[in-house]
Structure formats: structure tokens, C-alpha cells
A and B are shown apart, each in its own frame.
Chain A
Amino acid sequence: MTLAVEFENVSRHFGAVRAVDGVDMAIPEGAFFAMLGPSGSGKTTCLRLISGFETPTAGTIRIFGQDAGRVPPNRRNVNTVFQDYALFPHMTVQQNVEYGLMVKGIDRRTRARRAGEMLGLVQLDGFGPRRPGELSGGQRQRVALARALVNEPRVLLLDEPLGALDLKLREAMQDELKALQHRLGITFVFVTHDQGEALSMADRVAVFSAGRLVQVGSPAEVYDRPRTRFVADFVGSSNVLPPALAARLGGPAQWASLRPEAVRIVAPGAGRIDGRVVALRFLGAGTRVAVAVAGPAGAPPVVAFAPAGQPPPAEGSPVGLHWADAALHLMEGE
């Protein structure tokens, strides 16, 4: 397996701020790789280290096996779709898309042809003569995509690619990006703070916290088997159980996670533990049921997911909760 991008103990410090701190990471060729984390977690700095806008304070960055740490952005065959798209407002859409080819000295005719093809690929045929200012947010993003892809990058970087779009467009664009990546086979690396976006689009997810890489894995791995309490908290609406509560629920006294979908609501006394329903939230595909269980003081309620089709219990009613042994996943308390 060829590695598109490799981080070897990479750090980027800004004075006393350790934006990226000793990250080891491998992005395989052809992957759709998500870097997920809250703001300030170092994911964007990692992206900028790949694009060349930042230079590592320590460590080695390799792109397709070549040491890239000190190579300036214009000498890397890596292109970026910027968060604000960064389209050149004084150029037409066509000129924007041709820009990368123009600065490389490719002749006018080839430039026009390839830019036209790219605009076709992102379904913007005929938009060439317009200015970026005349386009909608979704169209601008497509132009930014075409402008990056026309250079045939070895790695495409996307910085919060869907952040500025409204919900409907965001969902459509998720499918489209996925299809595009599949079709082109280019390694896509994108940064997001939206765990739903990361899990649904990527085939590998890297979770960042405070400048460090906490866990890398397939979306299912990260979702089902979070390595630390932080990952469980950040990646999904999972039950994060403090050691005392985990012990009370029949596990060892260690931080643990329990997926709401794995918890079944049964009659009082018929499950592993009894409790009282304190809140209901209708989610369409089912209802999220929060159950306060007798246990250590200050313990959070345990959340169960009651799928649609079975009537959820009423608020305030006593219930029992049951789950399979394997559902209780132990993790590190960080």
C-alpha cells in the first residue's frame, strides 16, 4: 500500500502554543481521509502542514515518500479547496479554473479545454464567463473544486468543505464529493468539526484533541470502539459512563461507553438495571429516551434509543434497561 501522506512525530508550535504536538499519521493513497476535532485541536494546522502553508517545528512530513517539510506550497502537487473558497473576485469563473495551468505556462488552448472539462465535471457548464460574485455558495464551492482538480493534484485538501452551505445542499454535496472521489481515485483529505460529516463521507477518520491525534480508524471503529472518553464524547451521542457508574452497571470501575442503540428498554426488573424516564426526544427514526438510574451521585442519565414502531415509554414511568455484554466498551479516561 502506497502512503500518500505520512507524518512522523510532527509538531508545529506557535510560541508556547502547541498547535500540533508529536503527531504520527499515515494516509493511504486513494483514501477519503477525515481529520475531525473541535476548533483548536490542530486539525487545520495539520492540513496546512500538508499544503505547505506551515512548516513543521519538528518531525518529518512525507508526501508519496518524499520529504516535503521545507517545500513551499507552490512546489507541491497538492491542491486545496479553501473554507471561504478564496476564488479570485477579479477573474471570471473560467480564469479562476485556468489559473493553476496559467501560472505553469500551459498554452491558452489547452487551458481553455481542460478548464471546460473540469467545469463540466462539477456540473457548471456555461458558467465560465461569470464572476464568482454572481454565484451561489454551492456554485462557488464547485468552482473551487474545479480550480483545484484541474491541476490533477496527487492529494486534494478540503478545509471545512461544507461548512458554509445550508443543510439541504450539504447533504447533496456529501454524496457528490464521495462520488467524485470514487471516480477520480485521488486521495482526499478533509478537515471538519462535524462528526456526522466525517463518519458519512470518509473511509478513514482521525480524531484530534489539543494538538494530538487521539484515534485513527474506519468510521465504524471510531464510532463503536472509541479509544478515549474524549472520542466517545465528540464522535457521537453515546453514553459516556464514569467509572463508578460503569461498575454499578456490571463492568469494571473504568470509563466506558454504551451506544444508545445497544440499550433495550424492557419491563422494570427484567433488565440489568432499573430507572425512571426523565426526558424524551423524538428523532424521526425513533425516540431518544433518557433514563435516570439509581447510582452514584451526579451520574448522568443513561440514554436508550427506542426505534420507531414500538411506542416509547411515557415520561416519568419506571423502566428496565438491558444490553449485551459486548456493548459496554471500556476506554481510557482522557
Chain B
Amino acid sequence: MSTPAATARAGAALPVLLAPRGAGDRLTALFWRRPGLLAALLVAPPLLWLAVVYLGSLAALLLQSFYSIDEFSGLVQRDFTLKTWAELFSPANLDIILRTVTMAAAVTLGAAVLAFPIAYFAARHARGRWKALFYLGVMLPLWSSYLVKVYAWKLILAREGIVTWAAEGVGASAVLNAVLALPVIGGNSLSTSYLGTWLVFLYVWLPYMILPMQAALERVPASMLEAAADLGASRWQAFRSVILPLALPGVIAGSIFTFSLTLGDYIIPQIVGTSARFIGQAVYQLQGTAGNVPLAAAFAVVPIVIMLVYLRIARRMGAFDAL
């Protein structure tokens, strides 16, 4: 049986294999035969950048920390010495490190507690318009200048600022004063206390905690929570034993952001807070006004080491098991 269409097709049979149409086709053929080649070509430039510019400059930094500064001439002596490192561990400098790490930990903890309900709502309940609103709400603060936001916060937290005014308005001045009277974290006003620094850090880094958390929670199937409840778990037990462990990679990812960003920041503690220095400020002053680049380099290595230790602990806790 041959239909007219079939006869026509048989008459002018199309070729089975087509000749390459130029350089593009030849390249395509090459990439089909060797799939690894395309990947290698794509990844080579960024890898080169990463190796030379990122890791190379880090190595240069590390090297600098083994030089020292001549106390009389103020010049860097390019001889290998551990003098700078010994200086890093002086009580005053250890104080700076401890202060920075404590602040970073406090900011991370605060951000995690504050971000979880928001991320949970967005991942579990928000749909359509609400989801768009969520993304807008989380991202919007990132669109304006960091400096403007920090200075705005200084005004908000200042003694004559809106917080004091609002506290007076609702008759909560006593509460505000009691908070400010707290040892260590309190102070003359919110804008000159550790509490104020913490609040501003929390505000500025919160989106970096919410987004990875939300992504992680979104990947936890809804049936997990139902299964836990079905087996007799209360909401709290289900959260502790199922939701949190499954969302932990997101929590850790978020905490890496908030922790490391706080460790390295030198602007917020300079504008809002006490006059006590953080690592970032120390680095800024040492390499600028003081001209002590070796000690600045040694200081800059500290956050890197802290982060490596932190990641190791997170890994031990099984944070990356579910990846």
C-alpha cells in the first residue's frame, strides 16, 4: 500500500546524514564527542580568576603577616618573623577578637531566631501575591545604600531619636532606661551601646539569613510534618526532630553569611556603638593611619581561621548531610 504522500517522499528522499555547515557545526560536533571539553572551556576563566585574584591575594596577605614593622622608622621589614603574630595575641588585640566574635555570634543567633518564622511562612504558606510581597519585603532594604541605612539607624537610635520619643509617648521610658542601664550591652543611648550595634547588624544582615532558610524549608516536603504529627509528635517535637534538622543546611548557610559579614564589617561599629574596636576597624586603622600592614594582615587572617573552625563544627553536627 503506498499513499500518494509516501510516493512523493520516496521520490525525493531526504539525505540521512547532513554535511557540517561551517565552523559552528564542527565545534558542536566536537563538544558532542567530548562533553568535558565544553565544561572545561566554560569554567577555565572564572577558575583562573578565583585562583589568581582571590586565593593569590589571600596568600599574599598571609605572607605579609609574617613580616614586621620597624618601630623607629615605621617601615615594613621584609624578613620572616613571628613577631607580628605574637603582637596579635597581646591582651588588647585578643580583646578585639573576642568582642568581634561575640558580636558575630549574637547577631547570627538573633538573625536565626528572627528569620525562621518569616522563612517558614514564606516557604509553607505564602502563595502567589503573598510570596511576591515576601520577596519584595526581604529584598527591598538591600536596594538602598548601606551607608544611608546605617546613618538612618544612628538617628533612629540616638538619644533624641524616634525610639526615645516613642518610648516617652507610650510611657515606656522606664523600660528603655532599664535596658540601657544593663551592664556591658547598655550605654548612654542605644546609638552608643553594643545593643545598638547589634540591632543595626541584625537589620542589615537579616535578608542573608532569611533567603537560604526559606530555600531550605521549601525543600522539606509537607508530608514530613504530617508524618511526625501522625506518629504522635507535638508541634515542638516535630520542629526539633524533623523540621529543624532538615532545614539545618539553610540555617548554616545563612549563619555563614551573617557570621562572616559581621566578622569583617568596620562601618557599622564605627557609626553606631561604643568606641571599642572590632576586627574590621582594627584592620582599617592599622593599614591606613598606623601603616602597620603586617599586623593588619594578621588581623585579617583571624576571620578566615574562625570561619574554617566554624564550618568544621557545622560539618561535625551533620549540617551538610542533607545536601
Q: Please list the residues of chain A having a beta carbon within 8 angstroms of any beta carbon in chain B.
A: 51-53, 72-75, 78-80, 82-84, 86-90, 99-100, 102-104, 147-148, 151
Contact = CB atoms under 8 A, between A and B. Distances in A.
Contact of A90 (B223, B229, B233, B321): B321
Contact of A86 (B226, B241, B245, B322): B226
Contact of B230 (A79, A83, A102): A79
A74 B245 CA distance: 20
Contacts of A72: 229
Contacts of B246: 88-90
B15 to A, nearest CB: 41
A86 B232 contact: no
B322 A74 contact: no
B128 to A, nearest CB: 15
Interface of B: 221, 223-224, 226-234, 237, 241-242, 245-246, 318, 321-322
Listed residue (B221, B233, B321) with the most chain A CB atoms within 10 angstroms of its CB: B233
Contacts of A99: 228, 231, 233, 241
A53 B223 CA distance: 11
A163 B18 CA distance: 45
Contacts of B318: 90
Contacts of A89: 246, 322
B230 A80 contact: yes
A73 B225 CA distance: 11
Listed residue (A53, A78, A83) with the most chain B CB atoms within 10 angstroms of its CB: A53
Nearest to A95: B241
Contacts of B224: 86, 88
B67 to A, nearest CB: 48
Chain B at the A interface: mostly helix, strand, loop or mixed?
A: helix
B242 A88 contact: yes
Contacts of B231: 74, 79, 99-100, 103, 147-148, 151
Contact of B232 (A82, A88, A100): A100
9 contacts: A52-B229, A53-B226, A73-B229, A78-B230, A79-B230, A86-B224, A88-B224, A90-B318, A151-B231
Contacts of A87: 227
B227 A74 contact: no
Given A99-B241, A103-B233, 12 more contacts: A53-B226, A74-B229, A74-B230, A80-B226, A86-B223, A86-B226, A88-B227, A88-B228, A90-B321, A99-B231, A100-B231, A103-B231
Contact of A84 (B221, B229, B230, B241): B221
Contacts of A102: 241
A148 B231 CA distance: 7
A109 to B, nearest CB: 19
B221 A74 contact: no
Contacts of B322: 89-90
Listed residue (A73, A82, A87) with the most chain B CB atoms within 10 angstroms of its CB: A73
Contacts of B233: 74, 99, 103
A90 B246 CA distance: 7
Nearest to A90: B245
A74 B235 CA distance: 9
Nearest to B245: A90
A105 to B, nearest CB: 10
Contacts of B232: 74-75, 100, 103-104, 151
3 closest A-B pairs by CB: A100-B231, A86-B227, A86-B223
Nearest to B222: A86
A100 B229 CA distance: 9
B282 to A, nearest CB: 41
A87 B229 CA distance: 13
A225 to B, nearest CB: 36
Contacts of B245: 90
A292 B220 CA distance: 54
